[in-house]
Each structure stands twice: as structure tokens, then as C-alpha cells.
């Protein structure tokens, strides 16, 4: 039996333009989506980020959808969360976001959304892959082709709605610096923050698919200018987005980049109850949630898994340490703009961000990797699943949903997980003391080396 080539990764289809992401692929994915949702008379929302190749991919996908009888609702250049929200609010049957998120300019990608604002699940992606592979498309005659509608003004409703749900106080203006990376959040993030009454200064907020100011990955290396600016002008907080603005990372008033896990913890405490995160998130979240009688549940890495678990468990909030947060009281699409408004509200309500961050425990953490050929990963991980826990005692929980994660009775933990893109097996560990961390890493490394 011939295996169907896999197109989707952890966050949609992604690759270099005209290498992995070709116009032919974009057309076929659109045709497959049309077939999957039922073709004639169905409605599909489509948006794109600022990449130079976004418009041409949007054009061919729109044409392919109409060729199959679907009506296309075009948002134009917008952040990913606008696509998810528009798909929900416009009663569309599916949504498409053309983006490569934090990847460099030469990349692009395609991510699909359900009519409830939730990203396509793995079984849905597998169906799309099957239709593409078999070229099982259904084009229509001249009398059934779809229509195209401009719904770019919908972004105004989106801005009004995220301001309202954020509960940000317009009568307590803070000085906010926003670095949008010249990505899809360039206009809208600052617009939302100003409309909410904040005093806003912008960096890299002119849309430009070459990302001239900084790489769209919001990490310490790329956010040096934001960090220095916040400190130099005495701002209350800095906000950074990735290329499609579904992520948000904050800089405190001292110019320090926030610890991603601590930032997630601050927001999780605002919601309380059950929160969802991934297997690689810090134990500081567990510690802080236990203090307010909250609960933490973990999923495989990827915002789709977090979203599915939020729905299944009726959770209050969820997110990854990368800055990808989901707000189920609004929409099930990761939303960097709403996250920004809500973290500003936290500063209004609870005081300086630096104090909130420093009040959360810091545990020694280490990430390492061991070279492992891709064709050996499955066999090695079978051994890890079967035998790794035998190397330790005082284990509180074993998770095998994404690699193998051992959590110990003192909340220390270790995760062994194969890389999805490189020939490595990764080891991540966090412990209450440096000595315990060194012991865990030493045992894990020797165990893996022995198997290899």
C-alpha cells in the first residue's frame, strides 16, 4: 500500500516558496478543501500576512476555490486571529491563513481553520492530504462557479471585540511599545492598543514582507531594539509579535525580555481553574496554579493540540511557552493581539510586570540534543517509552503523549522527545536545584547514548 505524502507539520503546511510551497500545491490544497467542505455554495475566509509571495498564493487559492463552486471572503493582509474569528463570525465553512509565522522571508505556508475558529485537526489534515494525493477534485461548470467578496472591513469589528473582552481600562493609560516585525500585526496591534486608550510607540510596524527591521521570530536576539527602547523611554511594557501575530512576547519596564513560561503563568493565574499547556512547559505553572486551587493539563507540542484539549476539558485558558495563547472565552484561534491587551490589563491591575515575573519561582533548566538518524528515531523512542522510567525513583507521573515526560514528586521533570525536523533526539529537564538538574541530565544522556 502506497503511503500518502505528509504535507502538514505541527502548524499547517510550511516551506520555502517554489520549493516546498509551490503554486500548484496551493491550488490543489484549495481544491481539496473545497471537496472536503462540500463544494458548491460553501464559504471560505482567506487572509495573508505581509510576505511578498502571499498575494499570489491568495490569488491562486481563491481562483481554485471558486473553480470548485465556493464563495471566497477575502480579508486581505491581516493577523491570523482575524481569520479564525471571521470564519466563526461570518458563518463560513472554513478559513485559510497564508503565512509562515516566524520563519524568514523566503518561506510561506498554509493553515486551515474550522467554522468554530479552531485550527484543522490531524485527522482533517490527513483527509486533505489524501484528496490532494489522489487529485480527487470536483470542479464545476460556468453556471456554478463561486463569487469573491471583500470583507476587509471586518477587522474593525475584530478590534472592537478584543478590546471589549480584554477588560482593559481606558482611563488608566500605560506607555506601550509595540514591535510588530513588519508582519501582519503592523497596523492592527497598535490600532487596538491606541483605541483601548494606551499611549503607543511603534517599532517595525510598517508592513514589509522582507522583514527589514528584524527577523519575525520574537526571541532575545531579535528583540534587542525593543528591550532598549522600553528602558530608554520609560515605557511600562513592550509587546512583540511574530510574522502573523498569533503570538505575543512581553518586555518588562526594566527592558528585560519576559521568561516565556512565567508570562504564561501570569495569564493562567488570571483565569484560574483548569489551564492547558504543552509537555515542555515549566513546573512554575503547576506550582503557581496549585496555590490558587487551579489545575494544569499537558498536551503534545503544537497549538492545535492545546486547542483540542481546551475544548475537550472545558478549560479556562491555554497556551504554549512560545507565546501562543488561546482564549476560549473569545475564539479558539491563537491570538497575539488579544494576549497583548490582556497582559497590559494585568499590569494595570496587578502592578509592574517585573514584579509579577520576579514573584514566580525560577528553576534551573537545561535543553540538550543527541544526534540520531531519522530512521532510528521510532525504535529508540520505543525503548525510551519502555525503559526510561526504570532509571529513576520517586516518579509522580509519566506522560507519553509527545515523547516521554517524567515528572518527579518534587515537581522536577525530564522530557525526551524526537525532533520533528532534524536528526536529533532532544532532552529537556527542569529541577528544583542545580544539583538535581545535573543528575537528571546525566542519567538521561547516558541512557540515550547507551541505546544509540
pLDDT of residue 209: 97
Condensed to tens digits (0 to 9), the pLDDT of residues 160-190 reads 999 999 999 999 999 999 999 999 999 999 9
420 and 311 both lie in a single domain:
no
Confidence of residue 101 (pLDDT cuts 50, 70, 90): very high
The proportion of the chain whose per-residue pLDDT surpasses 90, expressed as a percent, equals 95
Strands 94-98 and 13-16: unpaired
Phi, psi of 111 (to 5 degrees): -125, 140
209 and 325 both lie in a single domain:
yes
202 — alpha (psi -120 to 50), left (phi > 0) or beta?
Answer: beta
Owning domain of residue 124: 13-152
Instruction: Give the residue among 154, 138, 166 at the shortest CA–CA distance from 64.
Output: 138
The CATH number given to whatever domain includes residue 352 is 3.40.120.10
Is 242 flagged in the annotation as binding? yes
The reply to whether 7 falls in a domain is no
The reply to whether 68 falls in a domain is yes
273 and 403 both lie in a single domain:
no
338 and 375 both lie in a single domain:
no
Region of poorest pLDDT, from 190-204, 228-242, 294-308: 294-308
pLDDT of residue 1: 55
Condensed to tens digits (0 to 9), the pLDDT of residues 313-324 reads 999 999 999 999
139 and 242 both lie in a single domain:
no
Q: How far apart are CA 341 and CA 347, in angstroms?
A: 10
Last residue of a domain, one of 329, 358, 387: 358
Mean pLDDT of the chain: 96
Segment 63-74 shows an average pLDDT of: 98
Counting Cα atoms < 13 Å in the Cβ hemisphere of 276 gives 26
* Catalytic pick among 62, 101, 189, 258: 101
The reply to whether 316 falls in a domain is yes
3-state secondary structure (DSSP) of residue 107: strand
The reply to whether 6 falls in a domain is no
Last residue of a domain, one of 358, 383, 411: 358
250 and 275 both lie in a single domain:
yes
pLDDT of residue 34: 98
The reply to whether 372 falls in a domain is yes
201 and 69 both lie in a single domain:
no
Cβ distance 219 to 195 under 8 Å?
no
Q: If you search the block for the grid coordinates 522600553, which residue do you land on? A: 230
pLDDT of residue 214: 97
Is 208 flagged in the annotation as binding? no
Confidence of residue 433 (pLDDT cuts 50, 70, 90): very high
128 and 187 both lie in a single domain:
no
Condensed to tens digits (0 to 9), the pLDDT of residues 208-242 reads 999 999 999 999 999 999 999 999 999 999 999 99
Instruction: Give the chain's largest Cα–Cα span.
Output: 72
325 and 373 both lie in a single domain:
no
Last residue of a domain, one of 122, 152, 182: 152
pLDDT of residue 67: 98
In this structure, what C-alpha cell is assigned to residue 178? 509595540
pLDDT of residue 286: 93
Condensed to tens digits (0 to 9), the pLDDT of residues 377-420 reads 999 999 999 999 999 999 999 999 999 999 999 989 999 999 87
317 and 434 both lie in a single domain:
no
Is 71 flagged in the annotation as binding? no
Helix 284-291 with 260-271: angle, nearest 10 deg? 20
132 and 173 both lie in a single domain:
no
Segment 34-46 shows an average pLDDT of: 98
In this structure, what C-alpha cell is assigned to residue 342? 490582556
Instruction: Domain count for the chain, please give it.
Output: 3
The reply to whether 290 falls in a domain is yes
Is 244 flagged in the annotation as binding? yes
The reply to whether 96 falls in a domain is yes
The CATH number given to whatever domain includes residue 384 is 3.30.310.50
272 and 419 both lie in a single domain:
no
Residue 101 among the catalytic residues: yes
Measure Cα distances from 113 to 118, 155, 240, 274 in Å: 6, 17, 24, 25
The reply to whether 262 falls in a domain is yes
Amino acid at each position: 500500500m502506497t503511503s500518502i505524502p505528509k504535507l502538514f507539520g505541527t502548524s499547517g503546511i510550511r516551506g520555502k516558496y517554489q520549493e516546498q510551497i509551490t503554486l500548484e500545491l496551493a491550488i490543489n490544497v484549495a481544491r481539496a478543501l473545497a471537496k472536503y467542505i462540500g463544494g458548491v455554495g460553501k464559504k471560505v475566509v482567506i487572509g495573508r500576512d505581509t510576505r511578498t509571495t502571499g498575494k499570489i498564493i491568495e490569488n491562486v487559492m481563491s481562483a481554485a476555490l471558486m473553480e470548485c463552486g465556493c464563495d471566497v471572503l477575502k480579508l486581505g493582509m491581516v493577523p491570523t486571529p482575524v481569520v479564525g474569528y471571521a470564519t466563526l463570525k461570518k458563518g463560513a465553512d472554513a478559513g485559510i491563513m497564508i503565512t509562515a509565522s516566524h520563519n524568514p522571508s523566503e518561506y510561506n505556508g498554509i493553515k486551515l481553520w474550522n467554522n468554530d475558529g479552531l485550527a484543522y485537526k490531524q485527522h482533517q489534515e490527513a483527509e486533505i492530504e489524501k484528496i490532494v494525493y489522489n487529485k480527487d477534485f470536483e470542479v464545476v461548470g460556468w453556471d456554478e462557479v463561486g463569487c469573491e467578496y471583500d470583507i476587509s472591513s471586518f477587522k474593525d469589528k475584530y478590534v472592537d471585540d478584543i478590546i471589549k473582552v480584554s477588560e482593559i481600562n481606558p482611563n488608566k493609560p500605560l506607555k506601550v511599545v509595540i514591535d510588530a516585525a513588519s508582519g501582519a500585526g503592523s497596523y492592527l496591534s497598535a490600532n487596538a492598543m491606541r483605541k483601548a486608550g494606551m499611549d503607543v510607540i511603534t517599532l517595525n510596524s510598517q508592513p514589509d514582507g522582507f522583514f527589514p527591521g528584524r527577523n519575525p521570530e520574537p526571541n532575545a536576539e531579535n528583540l534587542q531594539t525593543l528591550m532598549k527602547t522600553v528602558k530608554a523611554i520609560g515605557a511600562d511594557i513592550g509587546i512583540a509579535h511574530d510574522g502573523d501575530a498569533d503570538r505575543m512576547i512581553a518586555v518588562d519596564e526594566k527592558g528585560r525580555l519576559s521568561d516565556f513560561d512565567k508570562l504564561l503563568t501570569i495569564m493562567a493565574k488570571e483565569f484560574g481553574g483548569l489551564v492547558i499547556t504543552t509537555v515542555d512547559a515549566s513546573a512554575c505553572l503547576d506550582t503557581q496554579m496549585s496555590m490558587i486551587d487551579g489545575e494544569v493539563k499537558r498536551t503534545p507540542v503544537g497549538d492545535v493540540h492545546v486547542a483540542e484539549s481546551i475544548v475537550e476539558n472545558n478549560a479556562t485558558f491555554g497556551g504554549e511557552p512560545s507565546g501562543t495563547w488561546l482564549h476560549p472565552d473569545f475564539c479558539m484561534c491563537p491570538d497575539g493581539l488579544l494576549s497583548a491587551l490582556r497582559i497590559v490589563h494585568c499590569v494595570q491591575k496587578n502592578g509592574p510586570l517585573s514584579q509579577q515575573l520576579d514573584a514566580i519561582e525560577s528553576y534551573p533548566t537545561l535543553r540538550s540534543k543527541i544526534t540520531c538518524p531519522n530512521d532510528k528515531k521510532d525504535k529508540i523512542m520505543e525503548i525510551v517509552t519502555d525503559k526510561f522510567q526504570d532509571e529513576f525513583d520517586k516518579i509522580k507521573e509519566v506522560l507519553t503523549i509527545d515523547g516521554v515526560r517524567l515528572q518527579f514528586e518534587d515537581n522536577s521533570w525530564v522530557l525526551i522527545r524526537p525532533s520533528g525536523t532534524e536528526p536529533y533526539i532532544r532532552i529537556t529537564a527542569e529541577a528544583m536545584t542545580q544539583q538535581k538538574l545535573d543528575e537528571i541530565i546525566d542519567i538521561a544522556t547516558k541512557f540515550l547514548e547507551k541505546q544509540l
